[in-house]
């Protein structure tokens, strides 16, 4: 195992029906009364959760300022809007209620509100990172990204045509109540769960290839995601499976599986780059890329792919190469089984120039077992046409 230092700052409240008590407990703990309530494009009000949460905040003596309309794949402009609001309204605490998009947007709002300079330029031109934040917490309504667990946020800079990670605040707490995800359309549940599986695979495939304890825990998490997603698709009222998927999402991003490893995340960087041009759904884009990318890793990544094939997909061939290949095809079969797209055209993406631009702008990941050229990455994306 590689060296590591591990410290974890996020307090976790997990459990079906825990939202009310967890939110009240946390609100009674924070300093200041001026809370920014951040949410997405409408689901929170439609489901009735907005009124409930505002009521709980009022019971705790908080004044609520609304920051709604955070879109899937949050934009840099939306971050700036939120940061301006935090400054002008003298916000003491940001409560992000939503999926990865709301949670990510708030992580950067929290940092930008404390900065005079532009956070994108600060991180990408100067390679400097924020140190001061408006405190914040997350209530998860769509699990899968694990965004509530880390301080990385994926933001789309529309003018620059880039969708890239920025470092922002950690949440002081995360509320993981599976009841809040019951209204999420099954299509998004599947896309989110596949995102979790992808985070696991991208971590597992990272350097060094030798299997360590983090990888062995990871194998269990991957099997759990596959099993519980199948169970939830078969029975959307299966609250146990829903809760298991929620905690698996957290486990994939709370750092534990990454200890002693340099992660891969080449598939993610490709998907984000396509997302910058198409605003596509994250989990769906990953589903198109993953099997193709892994077919391109059958040589350099064969040992680890073969182990994943046996431990996770329970398939075995006569040779390491064969086993690795059977595992990749089992993954492709699972993607078809759960109804995720396997081609860009199924997602309305038909323009090859977009794929070329994505391959030309995405990050090349040092943790990947193969150092791809941009032409090879374009070939990976093109094979998804």
Query: Please, what is the minimum distance in Å from the beta carbon of residue 281 to Zn ion?
Result: 11
Q: Taking CB under 6 A as the rule, does residue 42 contact ligand NZQ?
A: yes
Query: Please, what is the minimum distance in Å from the beta carbon of residue 226 to ligand NZQ?
Result: 18
Query: Please, what is the minimum distance in Å from the beta carbon of residue 250 to ligand NZQ?
Result: 11
Contacts of 206 (CB under 8 A, 6+ apart): 258, 261, 262, 263, 264, 265, 367, 368, 369
CB 255 within 8 A of CB 196: no
Query: Please, what is the minimum distance in Å from the beta carbon of residue 100 to ligand NZQ?
Result: 3
Q: Taking CB under 5 A as the rule, does residue 26 contact Zn ion?
A: no
Candidates 44, 94, 109, 280; binder of ligand NZQ (CB under 6 A) is: 44
The residue (of 283 and 309) whose beta carbon lies closer to ligand NZQ is 283
Q: How many positions of this chain bind Zn ion (CB under 5 A)?
A: 1
Location of structure tokens 């200041």: 32
Per-residue contact string for residues 135-154; x = within reach of ligand NZQ by CB under 6 A: ------xx-xxxx--x-xxx
Query: Please, what is the minimum distance in Å from the beta carbon of residue 69 to ligand NZQ?
Result: 8
Q: Taking CB under 6 A as the rule, does residue 258 contact ligand NZQ?
A: no
Candidates 195, 202, 215, 219; binder of Zn ion (CB under 5 A) is: 195
Query: What does 202 interact with, of ligand NZQ, Zn ion, none (CB < 5 to 8 A by kind)?
Result: none
Q: Which stretch binds Zn ion (CB under 5 A): 4-12, 121-129, 192-200, 211-219?
A: 192-200
Among positions 191-210, residues that touch ligand NZQ (CB under 6 A) are 192, 195
Q: Which stretch binds ligand NZQ (CB under 6 A): 18-26, 30-38, 98-106, 338-346?
A: 98-106
Query: What does 98 interact with, of ligand NZQ, Zn ion, none (CB < 5 to 8 A by kind)?
Result: ligand NZQ
Query: Please, what is the minimum distance in Å from the beta carbon of residue 83 to ligand NZQ?
Result: 18
Measured from the Cβ of residue 184, the count of other Cβ atoms closer than 10 Å reads 20
**In the complex, which residues of this chain contact ligand NZQ (CB under 6 A)?**
40-44, 47, 72-73, 98-102, 104, 141-142, 144-147, 150, 152-154, 180-181, 183-184, 188, 192, 195, 253, 268, 282
**In the complex, which residues of this chain contact Zn ion (CB under 5 A)?**
195
């Amino acid at each position: 195992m590689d060296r590591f230092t591990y410290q974890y700052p996020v307090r976790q409240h997990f459990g079906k029906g825990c939202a009310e008590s967890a939110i009240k407990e946390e609100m009674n703990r924070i300093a200041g009364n001026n809370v920014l309530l951040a949410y997405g494009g409408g689901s929170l009000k439609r489901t009735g959760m907005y009124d409930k949460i505002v009521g709980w905040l009022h019971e705790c003596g908080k004044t609520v300022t609304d920051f709604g309309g955070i879109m899937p794949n949050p934009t840099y402009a939306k971050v700036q809007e939120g940061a301006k609001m935090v400054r002008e309204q003298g916000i003491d605490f940001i409560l992000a209620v939503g999926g990865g998009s709301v949670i990510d947007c708030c992580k950067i709002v929290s940092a930008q509100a404390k900065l005079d300079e532009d956070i994108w330029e600060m991180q990408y031109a100067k390679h400097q990172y924020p140190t001061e934040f408006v405190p914040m917490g997350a209530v998860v309504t769509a699990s899968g990204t694990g965004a509530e667990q880390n301080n990385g946020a994926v933001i789309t800079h529309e003018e620059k045509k880039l969708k890239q990670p920025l470092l922002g605040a950690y949440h002081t707490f995360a509320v993981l109540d599976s009841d809040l995800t019951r209204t999420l359309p099954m299509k998004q549940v599947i896309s989110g769960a596949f995102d979790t599986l992808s985070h696991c695979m991208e971590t597992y495939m990272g350097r060094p290839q030798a299997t360590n304890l983090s990888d062995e825990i990871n194998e269990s998490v991957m099997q759990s995601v596959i099993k519980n997603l199948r169970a939830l698709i078969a029975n959307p009222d299966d609250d146990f499976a829903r809760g298991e998927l929620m905690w698996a999402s957290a486990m994939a991003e709370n750092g534990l599986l990454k200890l002693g490893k340099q992660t891969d995340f080449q598939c993610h960087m490709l998907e984000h780059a396509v997302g910058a041009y198409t605003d596509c759904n994250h989990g769906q884009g990953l589903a198109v890329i993953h099997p193709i990318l892994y077919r391109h890793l059958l040589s350099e990544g064969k040992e680890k792919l073969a182990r994943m094939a046996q431990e996770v997909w329970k398939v075995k061939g006569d040779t390491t190469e064969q086993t690795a290949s059977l595992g990749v095809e089992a993954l492709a079969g699972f993607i078809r089984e759960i109804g995720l797209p396997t081609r860009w055209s199924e997602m309305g993406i038909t323009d090859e120039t977009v794929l070329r631009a994505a391959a030309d702008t995405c990050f090349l990941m040092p943790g990947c077992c193969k150092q791809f050229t941009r032409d090879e990455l374009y070939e990976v994306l093109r094979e998804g046409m």
